[in-house]
A and B are shown apart, each in its own frame.
Chain A
Amino acid sequence: QVHLQESGPGLVQPSETLSLTCTVSGDSITSYYWSWIRQTPGKGLEWIGYIYYTGSTNYNPSLKSRVTMSMDTSKSQFSLILRSVTATDTALYYCARRDSHFDYWGQGFLVTVSS
């Protein structure tokens, strides 16, 4: 059974950098695209971007200037970095398998941007 688990700091200071990691088990991380999606009460679900094990990435243009995704295949992990965060980046962050539809999701990780 495929399992994804997000981890990272739950509180980030404004203007600082948000960093999350997704650990994948039960599947080969080199077999699929892997995505980050976030959810807020105000904006709903928002696709952040995806990464493939080759290093290929694709980011939402609205976040592209602040986002970097990376992958460590030896640890079966992929990561999200979001720079210069503001309160509007407060959200529930999900990692998920695939790119155009998402068949497995992590449980979600709440990140709050606040001083």
Chain B
Amino acid sequence: QSALTQPASVSGSPGQSITISCTGTSSDVGGYNYVSWYQQYPGKAPKLMIYEVTNRPSGVSTRFSGSKSGNTASLTISGLQAADEADYYCSSYTSSSTYVIFGGGTKLTVL
């Protein structure tokens, strides 16, 4: 099972909005509403930011939102802040025996 496809890097200025895409297939992203997004700082464990496409865990800023269209899911961060600079990973349930697959990660740079 191939990993989900994410851009290697995105960047934005403070206050702007950015969107990170996560492309899969109808067997994973497109077929189920089990897409999640994780934020990871260097040397730290990933942190769940979005689950089941659009849901935010308690404590996660409303500046983070998720959506999906067809086989592509997206994470949008509005009002970009310096603290948002991190790596972001998507993951999805898959109907293949692999069960859960991840994207390759996107490095967000706040200019």
Encode contact with A along B68-103: 1 for CB under 8 Å, 0 otherwise.
Answer: 000000000000000000000101010001111111
Cβ contact within 8 Å between B48 and A100:
no
Cβ contact within 8 Å between A101 and B98:
no
State how many residues of chain B have any CB contact under 8 Å with chain A: 24
Q: How far is the CB of A47 from chain B (nearest CB, A)?
A: 4
B18 CB within 8 Å of chain A:
no
Classify the interface of chain A: helix, strand, loop or mixed: loop
State how many residues of chain A have any CB contact under 8 Å with chain B: 20
Cβ contact within 8 Å between A45 and B34:
no
A60 CB within 8 Å of chain B:
yes
Given contacts A44-B102, A47-B99, A61-B98, contact A101 B91 (CB under 8 A): yes
A34 CB within 8 Å of chain B:
no
Q: Which of A47, A103, A105 contacts B100 (CB 8 A)?
A: A47
Report the bound CA distance from A62 to B104 in whole Å: 17
